[in-house]
Amino acid sequence: MNKLGRVLLTAVIIGTLVVTPVLAAPDIEGIRQQKEEAQNQVKSLQEELSGIISKIDTLEAELIETGEAYLKATDDLEEAELKEKEQYAKMKLRIKHMYEQGVGKDLESILEAKSFAEVLSKAEYIQNIHNSDRKMLGEYQETKKQIVKLKETIEKEMKKLEEQQKEYAAAKANLNNVIEAKKGEVANLEQELQAAIAQAEAERKAKEEAERKAREEAARKKAEQEREQASASGGTSSSGGSSSNSGQKPSNSGSNGGSSSGNSGTNNQNAAAAIVNAAYSQLGVPYVWGGSRPGKGLDCSGLTQYCHRVAGISIPRYSGDQSAQGRSVSNPQPGDIFCQPGHVGIYIGGGKVIHAPEPGDVVKISNVWGNHWFVRYW
């Protein structure tokens, strides 16, 4: 084999001996697909949560309407009982009068009639008075029975709505937990995706660098073989320099600066004091679903709305709207609204709140509790 053949063979062998590392590429597309699936699940769960929140709002409106009907039935019952007592008192007074005058007085009045027609007329008049008394008393008693029955029906409906509200609230809480877990899963997948992209980029650069070094080594070996060939043939050797240009890609780094702005408001201490005083004035008032009557019956949002109305401030009726539309505060002051999912109250300072808790209870003072936040309208 001549020298030229040996040179070519050597170059081929050197080329085959250059080893380029083979690294396993991360499954970027697979991770990206998992992230998209998790994001779609979050979106679906949020839509389901929106549906439950809408049902809770509708249910709260029904509870308010039912509570107003219950209060009206209570008023009607009190009025019917009062009329029943008044009519009964009139009947007793009339019976007492007849007893004092003697039964013969009516008989004497009848016997003094100048004609048979007058006898019948007087007898009929006396009988009509007695019949009217009994009829009116009977009507009042029947009205009372109907109102009592209506109150019982309304109470059953309110209990049913209350159970539904508890179910919806539990479903809302569960969905919130699932959504938060899914959001965490999306965040983890995002981190995994970015790590995979970084790994793939590093592997690409490592491969390019290995290939570059292999090419340089092959060129060096080839030049060396050519020099040996020229030296062996006794000819003039010419050496060519090979130059390789290596460059680094400029990397640009940027930083984003964030700006924060704070909103400050002027506290109307007079309004806050009026709200707190109004809340104190309702201590002991019974809790009534949908109640909005001060001194008569209130639910939690009815109490907070009344207290703000006294201070000349208009706020929404429903607890969900009240807690969502107010200005969120991190340092609560007396007069702010204490908020929980489905419940509100008036913060009075010192870690205490005045609120209307639940059916069977009354407006009272309690320590703040559970997962809560505060909003302000003054």
What CATH number should be reported for the domain holding residue 324? 3.90.1720.10
Q: How many helices (H) and strands (E) does the chain have?
A: 7, 8
pLDDT tens column, 150-161: 878 888 887 887
CATH of residue 110's domain is 1.10.287
269-281 and 300-310 are packed helices; what angle lies between their axes, rounded to 10 degrees? 130
* pLDDT of 42 strictly over 80: yes
Domain boundary among 152, 174, 202: 202
Q: How many CB atoms lie within 10 A of CB 230?
A: 15
Percentage of the chain lying above the pLDDT 70 cut: 74
* pLDDT of 166 strictly over 70: yes
Say if 20 falls within a structural domain: no
Domain shared by 181 and 312, yes or no: no
pLDDT of amino acid 99: 55
* pLDDT of 234 strictly over 50: yes
Domain shared by 176 and 312, yes or no: no
pLDDT of amino acid 35: 85
Phi-psi region of 102 (alpha: psi -120 to 50; beta: other; left: phi over 0): left
pLDDT tens column, 198-217: 888 888 899 999 999 999 88
Question: Domain containing 361: what range?
Answer: 269-376
pLDDT of amino acid 113: 54
Q: What 3-state class would DSSP assign to 329?
A: strand
Domain shared by 185 and 85, yes or no: yes
Most confident among 43-57, 86-100, 219-233, 335-349 (mean pLDDT): 335-349
pLDDT tens column, 250-309: 344 333 333 334 434 456 899 999 999 999 999 999 998 888 999 999 999 999 999 999
Say if 208 falls within a structural domain: no
Domain shared by 182 and 273, yes or no: no
How many CA within 13 A on the CB side of residue 373? 15
Say if 90 falls within a structural domain: yes
Q: Give 122's pLDDT tier (boundaries 50, 70, 90).
A: low
Domain shared by 198 and 83, yes or no: yes
Rg over alpha carbons for the chain, rounded to the nearest Å, is 46
pLDDT of amino acid 28: 84
Domain boundary among 202, 219, 251: 202
Say if 189 falls within a structural domain: yes
Domain boundary among 179, 202, 225: 202
pLDDT of amino acid 357: 93
Domain shared by 179 and 279, yes or no: no
pLDDT of amino acid 96: 66
CB 333 within 8 Å of CB 275: no
One-letter-per-residue 3-state SS of 90-118: HHHHHHHHHHHHCHHHHHHHHHCCCCHHH
Q: Give 25's pLDDT tier (boundaries 50, 70, 90).
A: low
Section 33-52 average pLDDT: 85
Q: What is the pTM of this model?
A: 0.47
Within 8 A by CB and 6+ apart from 345, the residues are: 300, 303, 304, 337, 338, 353, 354, 355, 356, 366
Section 227-242 average pLDDT: 61
Say if 236 falls within a structural domain: no
Say if 17 falls within a structural domain: no
pLDDT of amino acid 246: 39
Say if 1 falls within a structural domain: no
Domain shared by 169 and 282, yes or no: no
Say if 61 falls within a structural domain: yes
Domain shared by 273 and 192, yes or no: no
Total domains present in the chain: 2
Domain shared by 36 and 142, yes or no: yes
Domain shared by 35 and 175, yes or no: yes
Domain shared by 191 and 315, yes or no: no
Domain shared by 195 and 285, yes or no: no
